[in-house]
Amino acid sequence: MDKTAKQFIDIFVRYAILILSAFPNLYLFYLVFTPLTIYPIYFLLSLFFEPSLMGNIILINNIPIEIINACISGSAYYLLFMLNLSTPNIRVKKRIKIMFLAFASLLILNILRIFFLSLMVINDSVWFGITHMFFWYALSIVFVIGIWFLEVRFFKIKQTPFYSDLKFIYKNSSLKKSKSSKSANKN
C-alpha cells in the first residue's frame, strides 16, 4: 500500500472515531469524567466541611451543590479530543500522551473551578452569579484554547487541525488534477 492510501485510511479512521465518540450526546465523556470530577470536589470540600454525597449532589449545611453535565464540561473534553484527532501526522503513542495531558489539565482546572464556585455558594457570596457566568462563558473557552496552544508548543505540533487534512485531500483529489489539466490544455 502506498503512502497516499495510508494517509487516506488514517484520515478515515480518525474522523470515524471522532463521529462515533460523539454519540449518543457525548455519553462516553460524561461517563468517564463525571465521577472523576465529583469525587475530587467532594474530597476537597470535606477538608473544610462535613459534606454528604448523593449521586451528583453534594450537600453542605443544607445547601445542595448539584454537579450537572454542563459542570462536567463533556463538550470541552470532546473539543480537545477533536483538535487532537483532526491533526494529522502524530504517532499513536504521542497522540495518547497529548490527549492524556489535555484531559488531565482540563480536569484539574475544572475541579478547581467548581470547588471555588462551591465555596462561593456555601458562603452566600453576592458575586456567585457573575463569577459563575464569567467562568462559564469566558474561562471555559480560555481553558480549552490555552491547553491546546500549550500542547502545540510543548509537543512541537506542526500540522493544523482539519485544515491540514483538507489540504491533503484537495491536493490528492480529482478537483485538483482536473484544474491542473485544464490549465495545461490552455497553454
Q: Write down the pLDDT at residue 42.
A: 97
Complete edge-to-edge strand list for the sheet that includes strand 63-66 = 52-54, 57-60, 63-66
The grid cell for 108 is 484539574
Length of the chain: 187
Q: Write down the pLDDT at residue 134.
A: 86
- Tell which phi-psi region holds residue 97, choosing left (phi > 0), alpha (psi between -120 and 50) or beta: alpha
Q: Write down the pLDDT at residue 93.
A: 95
Q: What is the residue extent of each domain of the chain?
A: 3-163
Q: Write down the pLDDT at residue 180.
A: 52
Q: Write down the pLDDT at residue 39.
A: 97
Contacts of 119 (CB under 8 A, 6+ apart): none
Check if the beta carbon of residue 44 is closer than 8 Å to that of residue 111: yes
Q: Write down the pLDDT at residue 119.
A: 95
The grid cell for 41 is 470536589
Total-model pTM: 0.87
- pLDDT tens string for the chain (187 positions)? 788 889 999 999 999 999 999 888 899 999 999 999 999 999 999 999 999 999 999 999 999 999 999 899 999 999 999 999 999 999 999 999 999 999 999 999 999 999 999 999 999 999 988 898 888 778 888 899 999 999 999 999 999 999 999 999 999 888 765 555 555 555 5
